[in-house]
Amino acid sequence: MLTHIDENGDAVMVDVTDKEVTERIARAGGRIYMSREALSEVLSGTNKKGSVLGTARVAGIMAVKRTSELIPLCHTLLITKAEIELVPDEESSSVYCECTVKLTGKTGAEMEALTGVSVALLTIYDMCKAVSKDMTITDICLLEKDGGKTGQYVKG
């Protein structure tokens, strides 16, 4: 049963009032493929000051905090940790992104982690699009979550 749909099929924010406050963690990943030219500029940018990856990291962290403004039925949560890891990969000409979110609350941090990944990768796209528009953001998924009634999930 889709928990966001009531008996009439109308969207509702799931009632979590009676859920326990527990420590929760979620980790999501994703990747952006770009031209070798774009990637080499990202990398050379890194030695100068790493603007692309540094800016994407900040954008992703800020997006984590605003997830409930973007995703209509998400609950507002008090994030206790948000981290964005960005790993350029020359072989596949891509940048891999992983976002880890922790919080203590009544509902999980999955959407926050996925939103952090999405916005970090969109920021890389934005900063590289002058070089080449042939970029693809892909494989955004939940890697792991823990805490709360449903317990641990690890991407199989």
- Catalytic residues, by residue number, are 126
Q: How far is CA 120 from CA 3, 14, 22, in A?
A: 29, 28, 27
Among 39, 135, 146, 148, binds a second copy (CB under 8 A): 135
> Which residues within the stretch 107-126 sit at the binding site for a second copy (CB under 8 A)?
110-111, 114-115, 118-119, 122-123, 125-126
Give the C-alpha distances (Å, rounded to integers) separating 18 from 39, 79, 105, 106: 48, 20, 11, 8
Q: Is 94 in the site for a second copy (CB under 8 A)?
A: no
CA distance 89 to 92: 6
Minimum CB distance to a second copy, residue 43 (Å) = 11
User: Quick check: 134 binds a second copy (CB under 8 A)?
Assistant: yes
Nearer to a second copy by Cβ, of 91 and 117: the residue is: 117
Site for a second copy contains 149 (CB under 8 A): no
Binding to a second copy by CB under 8 A, coded x per residue (else -) over 40-69, reads -xx--xx-xxxxx-xx-xxx-xxxxxx-xx
- Containing 53, the helix (H) or strand (E) segment is helix 51-65
> What is the signed CA dihedral for 15, 16, 19, 21, rounded to 10 degrees?
-170
Would you count residue 137 as binding a second copy (CB under 8 A)? yes
